[in-house]
Structure formats: C-alpha cells, structure tokens
Amino acid sequence: MQGVFSVLATPFDPHGDVDTDSLRRVVEAFIGAGVTGFTALGVTSEVTRLTDWERSLVLDTVMSQVDGRVPVVVGTTAEGLHTCLAFTRQARDAGAAAVMVSPPRAPKLNSASVRAHYAALAEQTDVPIVVQDYPPVSGFAMEPALLATIARDIPAARTIKLEDPPTPRKTALILEAAGDVPVAIFGGLGGVYLLEELLAGGAGAMTGFAYPEALVAIVSRFRAGDVDGAADIFYRTVPLMRFEFQEGIGMAIRKDVLKRRGLIRDGGTRAPGARIDAGTQTALERLLAWTAAQEGCAWISA
C-alpha cells in the first residue's frame, strides 16, 4: 500500500442524522481528485459518536459508492478483542481491502498485550491490518521496536498509520528496526509532516485533509523523482493543513471546508464536537484566499 488514502468524514444533515447523499458526493469528488483509496470509520469519521446501525450505514454507503474502483480501509478499533473481531469480520464481508486498528484501551496495557491483540486479530481473520499508532486514541504510545516486531512477527500487520510525532524520525527508526521486512508507513496528522515523512521513507498519507488534490500532487511528484516540485506544493499548502488540524476544532474546520466545496450539506459535528466560530471563519477565508493565489494550487477555492 502506498499513495493517498483519504479518511472520510461522516456528514450529518441539519437534524444530526447521517447524510448519505453528502457522503456519496465526497467519495466521488475525491476519486476524481486521484486518491489511491479511502479510510472509513476512522477518528475523522467521528466513529465513536455513531451507533452500531450508523456504522453499518456508513460502511455500506462507502462500499457501494466506491464500487471496487479503489481500495477501502475500514476502522475496526474496539476496547475488547471480541468486538474488534466482530467489526473486522463485518468490514471484510463488506469488501474492505484492510482494517485499521489501534491498540485497545485497557488498564496497564503493555507491549506484550498489544502484540497479542494484533496476533489474535490476524489469526482469527483473513484481512490485512493497518496498525494505527495514535496515542491520543489508544492511550498507549508504541515504540519503533514494538511496531517493527509486530511487522516482523505478524505478516498481515505490515502497514502502519503513524500519528505519534515526530513522525519523520519515528518512520526512519521503524524502517531501520524492521530491516528486510517490508513495512509501509503512512503519515496522518492532517498531512502537516507529509514531505518529511516521504523523505524518511514513508509510503504516503492517510488523513482527512479536505483538499486531497494537494496530497496527491505532493506524493505523485515525489514518487516521480521531482522532490523539489513536491516540496514547492507542500510548502504552499501546509499552512492550510496546519490550520485545519487545530486541536479541538479541526473537525469543524474540515467540515466547513467540505461544505464550502459544495460536497456536504451541513458542516455540523456531533456533540460534544465544536462548531466553527466567526473568528475562525474569518481566518479560514483569509487563508483560503492566500492559498488559492499560490502558483500550482488551482484546486483550492477561496
């Protein structure tokens, strides 16, 4: 796996219900933007605020709209192995190319229990696993040696979504520790370290940035050997990535941009998620106008 996997937000209508029409529009627009694939039911999807029925609705909507054109990774993280297995089998049966799993939240979690979780998941299912290293979600920071050990011992778990900064340095350390074992490492965190992650040996981006066209352009140029061209686009768009990835309000900003793009009907997040305020709106409009004026950023709409 390599390239750009867009993590899909879950649009809600003005009444707070899942808006499947908007979700389908996002999928179509992002396929048109050239993404390699999608990740559904991730953190960006507000997955912890969805009912089990809504999880199934989102999964079915994404899979039917994609219709096999690109691979779909599905988040199946759960606090217990039994639930994680159930979510994973549901994703597999729906046609997922892989599942994305963080370590379960548990008291006194340690490296041995984390490895055992992934080993049990691989033994009892037959779908590739993306190991998500995002300590704010799991409450557990996986060291490079542990991630390399998981990749070495569990062939199904040789793809990592790395969101524990400094990600470029950690990418290099994981690849060094893995040695000859092939490991694909995707950066998240809104794309704010994408160029440096690629330089460190990363496979691409797996994030929900509302302009995946930028991520596609950066990765495509980098893979073609045009590192300077990739860097130029990155430096012109990283201020927008940084602004969109603000802690606490980032999801509201991302959805506001998707609404501005005409892809979703309403920019609301589910409580206790924030809504974008007037001051942030003004700052966003200024930044969008500046980014749209930059050479090579024609996909940005002010």
Both structure tokens of 125: 């299912």
Would you state the pLDDT for residue 257?
Answer: 96
Mean local confidence (pLDDT), 186-212: 97
pLDDT, tens digit (0-9, with 9 covering 90-100), for 58-111: 999 999 999 999 999 999 999 999 999 999 999 999 999 999 999 998 888 899
Could you give the angle at the alpha carbon of 131 between the alpha carbons of 204 and 203, nearest 5°?
15
Which residues, at least 6 apart from 123, have a Cβ–Cβ distance to it below 8 Å? Answer: none
Quote the pLDDT of residue 218. 97
Query: What average pLDDT score do residues 124-142 get?
Result: 93
Domain boundaries, the chain: 3-230
Bridge partners, residue 159, by sequence? 130, 184
Handedness of CA 195, 196, 200, 203 (dihedral sign): negative
Q: Above 80 in pLDDT, residue 132?
A: yes
Please say whether the structural domain 3-230 has been given the CATH code 3.20.20.70: yes
Please, what sign has the CA dihedral across residues 258, 260, 263, 264? positive
107: three-class secondary structure by DSSP: coil
State the average pLDDT for the chain. Answer: 95
DSSP annotation string for 75-94:
E---SSHHHHHHHHHHHHHH
How confident is the model over 3-20, as pLDDT tens digits?
A: 999 999 999 999 999 999
Torsion of CA 233, 239, 46, 124, to 10 degrees: 50
How much of the chain exceeds pLDDT 70, in percent?
100
Confidence grade of residue 1 (pLDDT, cut at 50, 70, 90): confident
Decide: helix, strand or coil at residue 204.
strand
pLDDT tier, 302 (very low <50, low <70, confident <90, very high otherwise): low
What is the rounded distance in angstroms from the CA atom of residue 94 to the CA atom of residue 251?
A: 27
Average pLDDT rounded to a whole number, residues 248-265:
95
Mean pLDDT is lowest, of 86-90, 109-113, 242-246, 271-275, for 271-275
Which of 170-174, 253-257, 258-262, 270-274 is least confident?
Answer: 270-274
pLDDT classification of 208: cutoffs 50, 70, 90: very high
Residue 259 pLDDT > 90: yes
Q: What is the pLDDT at residue 297?
A: 86
